[in-house]
């Protein structure tokens, strides 16, 4: 599936049905009273987080979503049918902003958990039939109430990947090769920088419990200046925010024996400048492509890491060297760390159903 992380859509709730202007007319009842039924309420528009979806690509193809209008009332005190609600499925991790006339937007939903449900456009209230307007001074009202328009809003959708582990590092560190060896993901792999231009998702499945999964996001390579947008840094860094821990991969080709951990520090500084809390997130440090160096140099680097009190995993993703203890550490962190909390409160379906429509001003329209 093509990965698309931003889209803009227009959602329209259904219009309320018109109230009916009718009088009871039966044999032997020539002057029956008003019996016009109410119009049905228009359907509302809801958003629901769907764990089966991974991209916003479909919302680039279809941009307008409309709920059903309410049906008009009929004679004999028959109310119109309520319009069917529209529930739009979005990938878990989608942020939803309601745009204003000036192009700005307010956050209305953070769909950070599967089955999160939020109301974004309320259907219009159905109009009252003329039976509601009879009184001692008006026994035959010849008017009814029109239906209320449904709410209409332009939404900006922004998908921030929700993953257990986020792979970060300099370009060509071997992140895509790693994710292809530990999961079923098959990203594009080549021996040059910026092979990965969009995030890739991989899923690791526990051999003992197939329902237990660990989601890995392969974030495109970061460079110096990423916090200020260099190398599409903002587009990539925003996905790091939604991961529970980070796997920081450094290629042995970027390791200088005089200052071997400089590559780690460079990216950590970019994280710190973008969002100070990111630099404090739990990290697993990995040096990849150890098949390219001698055993003697490898032992020296391991000894240096021990002296510097850094727990570093030395691997070769390409040759499948050292992956097993690293994968075990990822599972351990996945079980150890708690889940993200949603940014905003979500109403349950029961809470939404219990809400009443706000009172609207009666508008009289003669038939």
Residue 346's region, left for phi above 0, alpha for psi from -120 to 50, else beta, is beta
Burial of 12 (0-12, 13-18, 19+ CB in 10 A): buried
Among 26-40, 43-57, 242-256, 295-309, the minimum mean pLDDT is found in 26-40
State pLDDT tens for residues 187-207: 343 344 434 445 567 777 777
State pLDDT tens for residues 62-98: 999 999 999 999 888 899 999 999 999 998 888 899 9
Q: How many C-beta neighbours within 10 Å does residue 227 have?
A: 18
pLDDT at res. 161: 64
Q: How many C-beta neighbours within 10 Å does residue 159 have?
A: 26
Average pLDDT over every residue of 265-292: 87
As given in the structure block, the two tokens for residue 184 are 């079923």
pLDDT at res. 102: 58
Q: Is residue 366 classed as helix, strand or coil in its secondary structure?
A: strand
pLDDT at res. 227: 36
> Across the strands, what pairs with 185?
none
pLDDT at res. 237: 64
pLDDT of 273 higher than 80: yes
Closest CA to 235 of 224, 220, 216: 220
Among 19-23, 154-158, 189-193, the minimum mean pLDDT is found in 189-193
> Across the strands, what pairs with 34?
23
Q: How many C-beta neighbours within 10 Å does residue 282 have?
A: 13
* Residue 282 CA: distances (Å) to CA of 64, 84, 329, 332: 41, 46, 12, 12
Spatial separation of the C-alpha atoms in residues 270 and 148, rounded to whole Å: 51
Would the pTM of this model clear 0.85, i.e. be above it? no
State pLDDT tens for residues 94-112: 889 998 765 567 888 888 8
């Amino acid at each position: 599936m093509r990965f698309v992380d931003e889209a803009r859509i227009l959602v329209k709730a259904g219009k309320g049905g018109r109230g009916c202007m009718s009088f009871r007319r039966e044999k032997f009842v020539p002057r029956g009273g008003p019996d016009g039924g109410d119009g049905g309420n228009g359907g509302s528009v809801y958003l629901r987080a769907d764990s089966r979806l991974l991209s916003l690509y479909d919302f680039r193809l279809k941009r307008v979503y409309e709920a059903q209008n309410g049906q008009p009332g009929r004679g004999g005190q028959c109310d119109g049918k309520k319009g069917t609600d529209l529930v739009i499925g979005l990938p878990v991790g989608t942020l939803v902003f309601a745009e204003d006339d000036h192009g700005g937007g307010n956050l209305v939903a953070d769909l950070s958990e599967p089955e999160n449900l939020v109301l974004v456009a309320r259907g219009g209230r159905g109009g009252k039939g003329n039976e509601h307007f009879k009184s001692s001074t008006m026994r035959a009202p010849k008017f009814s109430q029109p239906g209320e328009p449904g709410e209409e809003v332009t939404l900006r959708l922004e998908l921030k990947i929700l993953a257990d582990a986020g792979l970060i590092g300099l370009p060509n560190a071997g992140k895509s090769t790693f994710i292809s060896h530990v999961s079923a993901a098959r990203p594009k792999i080549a021996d040059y920088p910026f092979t990965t231009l969009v995030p890739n998702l991989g899923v690791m499945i526990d051999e003992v419990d197939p329902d237990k999964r660990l989601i890995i996001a392969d974030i495109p390579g970061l460079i110096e200046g990423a916090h200020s947008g260099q190398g599409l840094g903002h587009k990539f860094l925003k996905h790091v925010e939604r991961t529970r821990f980070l796997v920081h991969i450094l290629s042995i080709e970027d390791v200088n024996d005089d200052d071997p951990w400089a590559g780690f520090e460079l990216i950590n500084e970019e994280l710190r400048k973008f969002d100070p809390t990111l630099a404090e997130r739990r990290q697993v440090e990995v040096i990849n492509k150890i098949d390219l160096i001698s055993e003697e140099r490898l032992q020296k680097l391991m000894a240096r890491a021990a002296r510097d009190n850094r727990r570093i995993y030395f691997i070769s993703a390409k040759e499948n060297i050292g992956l097993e203890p690293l994968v075990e550490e990822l599972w351990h962190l996945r079980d150890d760390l708690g889940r993200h909390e949603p940014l905003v409160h979500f109403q349950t379906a029961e809470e939404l159903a219990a809400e009443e429509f706000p009172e609207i001003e009666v508008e009289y329209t003669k038939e």
